[in-house]
Amino acid sequence: MSSIRRYAVCGLSARGLASFVLPILGLTDRTADGGFGYGSDEDDLSGYAEVVAIVDTDADRVAEFNQALQRLGRSPIPFFPPTQYDEMLATVVPDAVIVTSPDHTHEEYIIGALRHDVDVVTEKPMVSTAAAARAVLAAERSSNGTVQITHNFRYPAAHRKVKQLILAGTIGRITRVVMDYHVDLRHGASYFLRWNRRRSLSGGLQVHKSSHHFDLLNWWIGSAPDEIFGYGALNYYGPASPHRPGGELSVGELRAKDPYFLAQQESGVFPTDDDSARAGLFGLHYPGQYPGSRPLYLYDAEIDIEDTYSAVARYPSGASLTYSIDFSSTWEGFRVSIAGTHGSISLLHGRTVDGTALPASDHITVSELFGPTRVIEVHPEAGGHGGADPLMRRDLFTGPSPESVELGLMATSTEAAYAVAMGDALTQSIATRRPINLAALLDLS
Ligand SMILES: NC(=O)c1ccc[n+]([C@@H]2O[C@H](COP(=O)([O-])OP(=O)(O)OC[C@H]3O[C@@H](n4cnc5c(N)ncnc54)[C@H](O)[C@@H]3O)[C@@H](O)[C@H]2O)c1
């Protein structure tokens, strides 16, 4: 029997292509692979996996990709619209599905696969609401299939080092954690030019983006919180933005006067092809998702999510978390400080918008309460997301490494459900001004 696992990919997204489809096809050299390569030779997963189907709403986008494969002498990958998902599972019989579609669609693909006892690898956030997370946990309990979640933010070298220090007991029992997160104006604006800007599609940035951070924090702390409370607002984008040029302007006219565009027009974040479907990573178009007839812009009325929020959470151990983020900062990264009964750990990871590392970025400071303070410099590794993606892919496709097992690097579905529930509960708390119980939201109390 072949040891190559057969995967169906749901959502031919930028992430799906870069992180899964191209490495599985062994297309790792962008120059040699007609612009479609991603990664390096070490990313070649063709000896372990095969893509046997693509499920997407956009037949034209998949056709464009298949044409590119044929130009490279490769076979096209069979395409199925979402209406034929069940049929695909029954006839193609993949060993597993990889879910890389917009967040609100994950629930349907995960639960559909579990009904066929098929394993799932899904992008974060596992799903876009706490109710959907509850449904996935229930479906997994009654299936022979399993769900693995790609919480790659656990994998950067500095994050693994912090986990090692905590597990070694360096700072004792954790008492409080503070994370101050910044998404720079280039990256931040990008969320408001894509599907992510609608809560019904992404769960808001509290789920879409902060699930990364909540999962990392919970993993470091070693448990999930029981309650969360917060405040938030839309301060930078949307119709009431202080940066929106006045008057009734077309997108083209807005751009000409818009400070975000003028500051970042070379960055590639701002789509300029208004008359044709938007092109994304690898030049592949999105005629379904972003047709030329409907250019999205930063100040559109349909933006219904917050771009700034702060939260406080309480853990069963008595530890507390303070977390704050905005999506229009002058730098990208975070400061985190973890205090324990016997000392503290702090870490800064940050770059200015032009990519310059902040002074003391990627240095971990470890202070023992009655002992010395030492600084550990950590070097980001090669590969996507500071070396996180290649390591995570190895765990997913070739089996967990000894370090992964020791640190518990691979997120479980319950851990991923909590990361989603924290984001959803934070949104609820912002709306109701009340603290929200998380176990109750997930039906785990
Ligand atoms: N772990 C990470 O670091 C990371 C980074 C980026 C994105 N992501 C996640 O990856 C996923 C994809 O995000 P992206 O920004 O790359 O997406 P994208 O916008 O590039 O692509 C979305 C794709 O899904 C297709 N699609 C839309 N509705 C669909 C449906 N109902 N069924 C199937 N396909 C559908 C679109 O046609 C398009 O091909 C999201 O869940 C996102 O949160 C994770």
260-285 pLDDT, tens per residue? 999 998 888 888 766 788 888 888 99
- How far apart, in whole angstroms, are the C-alpha atoms of residue 368 and residue 370? 6
Residue 39 has pLDDT above 80, yes or no: no
Residues 160 and 104 in one domain: no
Give a yes or no: residue 365 inside a domain.
yes
Index of the ligand 1 atom closest to the CA of residue 280: 20
For 242, counting Cβ atoms within 10 Å of its Cβ (0-12 exposed, 13-18 middle, 19+ buried), the class is exposed
Closest protein CA for atom 3 of ligand 1: 152
Report the CATH number that the domain containing residue 217 is assigned in CATH: 3.30.360.10
Nearest to 210 by CA among 365, 302, 103: 103
Give a yes or no: residue 275 inside a domain.
no
Give a yes or no: residue 284 inside a domain.
no
Higher model confidence: residue 279 or residue 31?
Answer: 279
Residues 229 and 362 in one domain: yes
Please tell me the distance between residue 263's alpha carbon and the centre of ligand 1 in angstroms. Answer: 27
* The last residue of a domain, from among 132, 152, 172: 152
* The last residue of a domain, from among 90, 117, 152: 152
Index of the ligand 1 atom closest to the CA of residue 152: 1
Q: State the pLDDT confidence band at 2, using cuts at 50, 70 and 90.
A: low
Q: Is the CB of 407 under 6 A from ligand 1?
A: no
Please tell me the distance between residue 163's alpha carbon and the centre of ligand 1 in angstroms. Answer: 29
pLDDT value for 223: 97
Whether residue 125 has a cis bond before it, omega within 30° of 0: yes
Residues 197 and 308 in one domain: yes
pLDDT value for 274: 66
Contact (CB, 8 A) for 422 and 227: no
Task: Classify residue 87 by its DSSP letter.
Answer: H
Residues 14 and 134 in one domain: yes
Please tell me the distance between residue 370's alpha carbon and the centre of ligand 1 in angstroms. Answer: 49
Please tell me the distance between residue 443's alpha carbon and the centre of ligand 1 in angstroms. Answer: 28
Quote the percentage of the chain above a pLDDT of 70: 99
- How far apart, in whole angstroms, are the C-alpha atoms of residue 420 and residue 282? 30
Residues 123 and 163 in one domain: no
Report the CATH number that the domain containing residue 139 is assigned in CATH: 3.40.50.720
| CB neighbour list of residue 276: distance below 8 Å, 6 or more residues apart | 285, 292
* Ligand 1 site-directed mutation target among 9, 12, 15, most atoms within 8 Å of CB: 15
Q: Is the CB of 10 under 6 A from ligand 1?
A: yes
Distances (CA, A) of 193 to 94, 190, 260, 327: 34, 5, 12, 13
- How far apart, in whole angstroms, are the C-alpha atoms of residue 427 and residue 344? 30
Query: What does the pLDDT average to over 147-169?
Result: 97
Q: What is the mean pLDDT of the chain?
A: 95
Query: What is the number of domains present in the chain?
Result: 2
- How far apart, in whole angstroms, are the C-alpha atoms of residue 40 and residue 24? 12
Higher model confidence: residue 142 or residue 283?
Answer: 142
- How far apart, in whole angstroms, are the C-alpha atoms of residue 317 and residue 221? 9
pLDDT value for 57: 98
Residues 357 and 232 in one domain: yes
Give a yes or no: residue 93 inside a domain.
yes
224-270 pLDDT, tens per residue? 999 999 999 999 999 999 999 998 898 889 989 999 999 998 888 88
Q: State the pLDDT confidence band at 1, using cuts at 50, 70 and 90.
A: very low
Q: Is the CB of 102 under 6 A from ligand 1?
A: yes
